[in-house]
């Protein structure tokens, strides 16, 4: 590039950085293609670049103490499990049944206990409080008396601690119909609890939340956390609970809401029936919280380390099953494998080689991790804790021995209990809250991760061409314009020039209108759900029709009134300006989204960038009638079709579960789930992706 300006020595050279910018802008086509390709390639390279996890915080010291959980505790826990399993829900049909059993056991162990009654609170889309923190619970007006759930919360006060911090154990169970797995998870927590009431090393209080999940696990935990952090003292609705409480004889009512300091970490324990034919029991880890937030990597590391090294469990994180036998992935994996072996033959120290199976597994896990984060919907009750800046993780022990657990129950309880004990011991050692390790990462396997510094590269490469192309298009249109201008009026007066240079405002207005429409589309479902309540399919149709109608109205009302007296000779090039502003808007949207939820921005960039860069009026290409223009038309049409949000959704769903199962109304349900979980992805889809899609369609259909 230095050589470019060698030709004209007399001219003063502009600064090198300006020259570099000019060079890039003038070669924007090649640069953008190269960048996009490199971005996608870098994304595929991520499993190769993943690093092994390591325990970053020294104070954790996992596995340094031998587990103290004895068979005594476990056999007591087994008795408790048997009591829970054989608990007759029919005869003891009073609203408080199994909770009383749990509470009694906690009190017998010497812990403090309280009941927390709550009303299941429907997640509601509240567009105005979108990014604000969790707010105070608003008790709904109409509810039936029997619909409230009762959490049982047990506390162990650390004997010599100062009670400033607490560790939370959560065991969700259905109080109406407790399954064997839920009973076993209660049993694990009970065995831990009985151990921890006796130990003297505890520095943080321990809270055991037996969450009543008859209205959903998430709702129960969320209600308790809301009461813990933002209680309301006005007493609306509480008095109702008091009157509802069934008078029991003799027993002390535990209705005071107890608390125990700032939470250091939370563990959700679950036991499920394993279906796999694995030799060992499997521990599934779920970590994604709302809007792609993750717990500190150290928490996952500790659990993984203890499960693998201490308890001989097989740790798994969720992966995208359909990717495991994709042919293209396999060939890619073989390519990377060959490259790796070649590099190692050159220098034995370059061992970035990766085996084929490892790469495929890593990619499947990475894709799932990316997808879960991008969706912005928490993958379990641990998600609530992240909203209160508490690191939490769900540990799901899946055992195939569950079906006949009566023969060998102690083993599972002992294994699970010792794992949880080890994690609590480690967290108990912490002097500071989790801060040492990563918060922004993607997992490619339970012990491999891609940190933010690495996974930013594909996104940066994908987004980099956008401003360049926007500048290039802008320069291009101004260039041609000034060229035509010079032809028409040789003595150009100053007002005309200024007017001409502000011509992009018109395009900007169009872009603004469409984005404004995007905001309207975002809010429409809120009003729809207020007004009517019908089938998803009908809702979806109404939404689409209303959106289209609004777009038309906006176009008519705002679009025509301000339209400038056009200059006929320049109209042909208006689309370049429009495209330029569209791309600038898309770039801004993506960059903002990358701050809120990086995974969404990453996946969004994969779709939005090619679509925006490709867009070009169909008529121009149709006139050209060359092979290149034909390919461009085809690409444009395919991209526009693919990246219309509903189509994308159905294709994705089809790839995951097969198109036969996908129904039309599913899209509505999916969107509904997004906004009820306050996912920023919904806003991104409606306010960035959809307007850009519409603008691209507008560009394609541009009359030339």
Which CB sits closer to other proteins, 438 or 643? 438
Q: Does 259 bind other proteins (CB under 8 A)?
A: yes
Minimal distance, residue 374 CB to other proteins, in Å: 24
The verdict on 495 binding other proteins (CB under 8 A) reads no
By CB under 8 A, residue 247 contacts other proteins: no
Does the protein bind other proteins through residue 432 (CB under 8 A)? yes
Q: Which residue, 19 or 506, has its beta carbon nearer to other proteins?
A: 19
Please tell me whether residue 134 binds other proteins under the rule CB under 8 A: yes
Cβ at position 3, least distance to other proteins in Å? 4
Q: How many CB atoms lie within 10 A of CB 166?
A: 24
Q: What one-character-per-residue DSSP string does 615-678 give?
A: ---HHHHHHH-SHHHHHHHHHHHHHHHHTSHHHHHHHHHHHHH-GGG--TTHHHHHHHHHHHTT
To the nearest whole angstrom, how small is the minimum distance from the Cβ of residue 385 to other proteins? 10
Q: How many residues bind other proteins (CB under 8 A)?
A: 53
Tokens of 410: 């102690």
Q: In what order do the strands lie in the sheet with 441-445?
A: 51-52, 448-451, 441-445
> Counting beta carbons within 10 angstroms of the beta carbon of residue 10, is it exposed (0 to 12), middle (13 to 18) or buried (19 or more)?
exposed
Q: How far is the CB of 125 from other proteins (least distance, A)?
A: 21
**Phi, psi dihedral angles at 404 (to 5 degrees):** -110, 50
Which member of 246, 262, 309, 351 binds other proteins (CB under 8 A)?
262
**Binding of residue 279 to other proteins (CB under 8 A):** no
387 binds other proteins (CB under 8 A): yes
Residue from 3, 58, 275, 561 touching other proteins (CB under 8 A): that is 3
Q: In angstroms, rounded to a whole number, what is the distance separating the alpha carbons of residues 630 and 612?
A: 18
- φ/ψ of 449, rounded to 5, equals -145, 160
Nearer to other proteins, 43 or 74 (CB): 74
Identify which of residues 158 and 696 has a Cβ nearer to other proteins in the complex.
Answer: 158
Q: Return the range that interacts with other proteins (CB under 8 A); candidates 48-56, 381-389, 563-571, 621-629.
A: 381-389
User: Interaction with other proteins in 149-168: which residues (CB under 8 A)?
Assistant: 157, 159-165
Residue 108 interacts with other proteins (CB under 8 A): yes or no: yes
Does the protein bind other proteins through residue 493 (CB under 8 A)? no
Please give the torsion angle defined by the CA atoms of residues 598, 601, 602 and 606, in that order, rounded to the nearest 10 degrees.
180
Count of other CB atoms within 10 angstroms of residue 135: 10
Give the per-residue contact string, 167-206, with other proteins (x = CB under 8 A; - = no).
Answer: -------------------------------x-x------
Residues between 389 and 428 that touch other proteins (CB under 8 A): 389
Contact 214, 244 (CB under 8 A): no
Task: Provide φ and ψ at 508, rounded to 5°.
Answer: -60, -35
Question: What are the residues facing 150 on neighbouring strands?
Answer: 117
Checking DSSP bridges between strand 112-118 and strand 149-156, what pairing results, if any?
Answer: antiparallel
Residue 453 interacts with other proteins (CB under 8 A)?
A: no
Among residues 226 and 689, whose Cβ is nearest to other proteins?
226
If 0-12 CB within 10 Å is exposed, 13-18 middle and 19+ buried, where does residue 631 land? exposed
Of the pair 388, 543, the CB lying nearest other proteins is at: 388
State in angstroms the smallest separation of the CB of 230 from other proteins. 6
388 binds other proteins (CB under 8 A): yes
Contact call for residue 110 and other proteins (CB under 8 A): yes
Spatial contact of 215 and 130, defined as CB atoms under 8 Å apart: no
Binding window for other proteins (CB under 8 A); candidates: 7-15, 80-88, 170-178, 360-368: 7-15
Phi, psi of 266 (to 5 degrees): -135, 140
Q: Does 137 bind other proteins (CB under 8 A)?
A: no
Q: Which stretch binds other proteins (CB under 8 A): 230-238, 403-411, 573-581, 640-648?
A: 230-238
* Under rule CB under 8 A, residue 4 binds other proteins: yes
When asked if residue 560 is in the footprint of other proteins (CB under 8 A), the reply is: no
Q: Is 347 in the site for other proteins (CB under 8 A)?
A: yes
CB neighbours of 214 closer than 8 A, spacing ≥ 6?
Answer: 149, 174, 175, 176
In three-state form (DSSP H/G/I as H, E/B as E, the rest C), the secondary structure along 484-503 is HHHHHCCCCCHHHHHHHHCC
Give the contact letters, 473-492, x = binds to other proteins (CB under 8 A), - = no: --x--xx--xx---------
Q: Does 233 bind other proteins (CB under 8 A)?
A: yes
Q: Which x/- pattern, by CB under 8 A, does the window 23-52 give for other proteins?
A: ---x--------------------------
Q: From the centroid of its chain, how far is CA 23?
A: 38
Listing DSSP states for 70-94 in one string gives -HHHHHHHHHHHHHHHT--TTT--S
By the rule CB under 8 A, 251 interacts with other proteins = no
3-state helix, strand and coil shares in percent for the chain, rounded to the nearest 5:
60, 10, 30
**Token match 């060079």: residue?**
23
- Rounded Cα–Cα distance for residues 345 and 341 (Å): 6
Cβ 162 to other proteins, closest distance in Å? Answer: 4
**183, 85 contact by CB (below 8 A):** yes
Judged by CB under 8 A, does residue 133 bind other proteins?
Answer: yes
Q: How far apart are the C-alpha atoms of 125 and 604, rounded to whole Å?
A: 22
Binding site for other proteins (CB under 8 A): 3-4, 6-7, 10-12, 14, 18, 22, 26, 108-110, 133-134, 157, 159-165, 198, 200, 229-231, 233-235, 238-239, 256, 259, 261-262, 346-347, 349, 387-389, 431-433, 435, 475, 478-479, 482-483
């Amino acid at each position: 590039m230095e050589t470019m300006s060698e030709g004209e020595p007399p001219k003063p050279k502009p600064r090198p950085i300006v020259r570099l910018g000019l060079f890039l802008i003038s070669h924007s086509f090649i640069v953008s293609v190269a960048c996009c390709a490199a971005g996608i390639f870098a994304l595929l390279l991520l499993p190769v670049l993943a690093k092994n996890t390591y325990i970053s915080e020294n104070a954790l010291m996992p596995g340094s103490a031998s587990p103290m959980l004895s068979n005594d505790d476990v056999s007591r826990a087994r008795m408790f499990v048997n009591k829970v399993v054989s608990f007759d829900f029919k005869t003891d049909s009073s609203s408080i049944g199994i909770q009383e059993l749990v509470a009694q056991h906690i009190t017998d162990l010497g812990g403090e206990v309280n009941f927390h009654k709550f009303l299941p609170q429907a997640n509601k889309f509240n567009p105005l409080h979108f990014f604000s923190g969790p707010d105070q619970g608003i008790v709904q007006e109409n509810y039936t008396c029997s619909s409230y759930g009762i959490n049982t919360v047990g506390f162990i006060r650390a004997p010599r601690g100062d009670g400033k911090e607490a560790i939370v154990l959560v065991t969700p169970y259905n109080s109406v119909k407790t399954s064997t797995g839920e009973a076993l998870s209660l049993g694990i927590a009970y065995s831990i609890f009985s151990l921890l009431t006796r130990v003297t090393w505890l520095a943080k209080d321990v809270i055991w939340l037996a969450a009543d999940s008859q209205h959903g696990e998430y709702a129960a935990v969320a209600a308790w956390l809301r009461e813990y952090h933002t209680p309301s003292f006005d007493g609306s609705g509480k008095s109702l609970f008091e009157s509802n409480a069934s008078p029991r004889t003799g027993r002390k009512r535990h209705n005071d809401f107890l608390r125990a300091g700032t939470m250091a970490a939370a563990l959700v324990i679950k036991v499920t029936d394993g279906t796999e034919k694995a030799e060992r029991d499997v521990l599934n880890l779920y970590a994604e919280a709302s809007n792609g937030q993750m717990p500190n990597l150290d928490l996952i590391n500790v659990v993984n380390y203890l499960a693998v090294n201490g308890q001989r469990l097989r740790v798994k994180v969720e992966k995208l099953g359909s990717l495991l036998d994709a042919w293209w992935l396999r060939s890619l994996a073989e390519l990377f494998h060959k490259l790796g072996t070649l590099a190692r033959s050159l220098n034995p120290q370059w061992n970035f080689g990766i085996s084929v199976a490892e790469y495929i597994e890593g990619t499947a896990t990475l894709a799932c991790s990316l997808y879960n984060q991008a969706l912005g919907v928490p993958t379990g009750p641990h998600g609530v804790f992240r909203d209160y800046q508490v690191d939490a993780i769900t540990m799901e022990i899946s055992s195939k021995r569950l079906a006949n657990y009566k023969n060998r129950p102690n083993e599972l309880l002992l294994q699970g209990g010792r794992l949880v004990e080890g994690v609590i011991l480690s967290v108990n050692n912490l002097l500071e809250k989790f801060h040492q390790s990563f918060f922004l990462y993607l997992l490619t396997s339970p012990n491999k991760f891609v940190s933010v510094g690495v996974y930013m590269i594909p996104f940066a490469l994908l987004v980099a061409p956008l401003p360049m192309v926007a500048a290039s298009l802008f320069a291009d249109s101004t260039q041609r314009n000034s060229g035509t201008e010079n032809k028409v009026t040789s003595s150009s007066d100053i007002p005309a020039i200024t007017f001409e240079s502000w011509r992009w405002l018109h395009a900007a207005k169009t872009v603004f209108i469409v984005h404004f429409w995007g905001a309207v589309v975002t809010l429409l479902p809120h009003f729809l759900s207020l007004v009517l309540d019908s089938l998803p399919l009908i809702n979806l149709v109404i939404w689409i029709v209303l959106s289209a109608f609004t777009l038309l109205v906006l176009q008519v009302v705002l679009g025509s009134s301000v339209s400038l007296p056009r200059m006929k000779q320049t109209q042909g090039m208006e689309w370049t300006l429009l495209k330029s502003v569209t791309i600038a808007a898309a770039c801004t949207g993506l960059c903002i989204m990358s701050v809120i939820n990086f995974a969404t921005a990453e996946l969004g960039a994969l779709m939005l960038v090619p679509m925006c860069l490709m867009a070009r009026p169909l008529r121009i290409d149709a006139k050209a009638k060359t092979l290149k223009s034909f390919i461009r038309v085809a690409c444009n049409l395919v991209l526009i079709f693919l990246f219309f949000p509903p189509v994308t959704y159905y294709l994705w769903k089809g790839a995951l579960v097969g198109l036969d199962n996908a129904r039309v109304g599913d899209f509505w349900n999916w969107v509904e789930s997004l906004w009820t979980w306050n996912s920023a992805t919904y806003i991104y889809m409606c306010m960035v992706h959809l307007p850009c899609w519409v603008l691209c369609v507008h560009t394609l259909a541009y009359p030339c």
